[in-house]
Amino acid sequence: MSARVLIVDDLFPNVKLLETKLALEYFDTLAAMNGPDAIAICEKGLCDIVLLDVMMPGMDGFEVCRTLKNNPLTAHLPVVMVTALDQPSDRLKGLDAGADDFLTKPVDDTALFSRVRSLVRLKAVTDELRSRALASRDFGMGDPLALATAETGLNANILLVEDRRGAAERMAAALTQQHTVTIEADPNRAILTAAEGGFDLVLVSLDLENFDGLRLCSQLRSLDRTRTVPLIMLAEAHDRARVARGLDFGVHDYLMRPVDRNELVARVRTQIRRKRFSEVLRGAVQASMEAAVTDGLTGLHNRRYLDNHLGSMFSDARLSDRPVAGLLLDIDRFKSINDTWGHEAGDEVLRTFAERVRLHTRTIDIVARYGGEEVVIILPDAGLGEAQVIAERIRERIEATPFSIQRASRTIPVTVSIGVAVRQATDTGPADMLKRADVALYRAKDSGRNRVEAQAA
């Protein structure tokens, strides 16, 4: 994946050097000579990844990184910190600030390209999700990005695939303060454990006895149930080639042995945050799609849902010559409830009404708010007799217990009138059936309300 790489360094020769290297590999580059400029470029969405020098006058690299990672607009950008020396303390400070990885000057080309490519590829997969979630924010469905950015990355469920007992226990001890850790010493069982366990992250040793840890990583990245779970490889220093290969096929990160306890904790947390960031966004998109077919007040389906489903349900019934019934329910004298007790009380009545109706319908039935105080119920496979029994039960359950309003400070009696109709062979569509239910409903109202009336036979 090609990408726009932002190089942040206060020294022009350093910028030039990285620019040249990246351009030869067909990356596009931008440069910023200080922190505030870099942040402005990121906020404008002009780059895909940031190579960030640590030592800069004014705002240093750690501060720039922290700012980027705490801003919902830029938190998704991968940040690679470039440090002058391989200082463990710098790495930790960077990881604490939310950095995704490190490069040590002088920058090794292979490490640079493999890391940048891998981070950009992982980003590309979530970019689509992020832009949908951004749209849901524009439609006023809350701000999922802010929520996602606030995720702390703690209390995760971690699987550690490691057959060296001492190493496994040391790592588990470091992680159990913040997370729950399961150790799996048998790599042959690991794929099943991972698929069934609902883990937030898997750590895989590349030095397992008689087993290629990289193969396990590849399987985890391939299986539906585990492919979005972040993977971290544990590797010996001489094993850089296999690490690069793993990054190339989608492993998220790695740790070199001997594993530094603090670095382990920090990298695990970064990956957990990244995963949950995606999950929050995915949830937000899902929720706004569910909202599209749900009535906000009652939680019942709305008319849009009914219109979308009723047609196909009706023609399925016609093709297989099976019955369908439609119930039209209308709360009696609802306007006077509103006028006497106020709109809020009217809303309370509607919500309670919806709850009781839902209790007496099945999952396969469609229950939808049709208009102000009208609800439609569609019963697949129900004939007229059965539908009347269900309607009568609902009518009775509404009348039996008065509705509490004004936060349970008062109860009022509520009744419902119901019209029942079933599909007829001559119907050209569901509208015909609903019209008969409507006629029956009017008859119920005319005959004194609190009644069930069925279509004329």
Residues that bind a second copy (CB under 8 A): 1-4, 26-28, 45, 48, 121, 124-129, 132, 135-136, 139-142, 214-215, 217-219, 221-224, 245, 249-250, 282, 285-286, 288-293, 296-297, 302-305, 307-309, 335, 343, 371-372, 438
Of 345, 346, 376, give the one whose Cα is nearest residue 361. 376
Smallest gap, in angstroms, from Cβ of residue 140 to a second copy? 4
- Separation CA 176–CA 334 (nearest Å): 57
Smallest gap, in angstroms, from Cβ of residue 291 to a second copy? 4
Smallest gap, in angstroms, from Cβ of residue 372 to a second copy? 4
Of 405, 404, 377, give the one whose Cα is nearest residue 390. 377
Output 288 or 388, the one with its CB closest to a second copy.
288
Query: 373 catalytic, yes or no?
Result: yes
Which two three-digit tokens encode residue 44? 């404008």
Please report how many Cα atoms fall inside a 13 Å half-sphere around the Cα of residue 386, on the Cβ side. Answer: 13
Output 307 or 396, the one with its CB closest to a second copy.
307
Smallest gap, in angstroms, from Cβ of residue 210 to a second copy? 17
Q: What's the Rg (C-alpha) of the chain?
A: 31
Report yes or no: 390 and 360 within 8 Å, Cβ to Cβ.
Answer: yes
Which two three-digit tokens encode residue 279? 């999950």
Q: Crossing angle of helices 303-319/430-446, nearest 10°?
A: 110
Output 215 or 410, the one with its CB closest to a second copy.
215
Smallest gap, in angstroms, from Cβ of residue 305 to a second copy? 5
Output 372 or 385, the one with its CB closest to a second copy.
372
Which two three-digit tokens encode residue 350? 């509607």
- Separation CA 173–CA 248 (nearest Å): 30
Any residues with CB less than 8 A from the CB of 18 and at least 6 apart, and which? 7, 9, 29, 51, 107, 112
The pairs formed by 102-110 with CB atoms below 8 angstroms and a separation of 24 or more are 103/51, 105/14, 107/17, 107/18, 107/21, 107/82, 109/21, 110/240, 110/244
Report yes or no: 58 and 35 within 8 Å, Cβ to Cβ.
Answer: yes
Output 132 or 443, the one with its CB closest to a second copy.
132
Of 48, 70, 66, 76, give the one whose Cα is nearest residue 134. 76
Output 11 or 297, the one with its CB closest to a second copy.
297
Name the catalytic one among 162, 184, 348, 373.
373
Of 213, 9, 36, 211, give the one whose Cα is nearest residue 103. 9
Output 259 or 287, the one with its CB closest to a second copy.
287
The dihedral sign for the CA sequence 61, 66, 67, 71: positive
Smallest gap, in angstroms, from Cβ of residue 396 to a second copy? 27
Termini Cα distance of the chain: 67
Smallest gap, in angstroms, from Cβ of residue 179 to a second copy? 25
Residues annotated catalytic, as ranges: 373
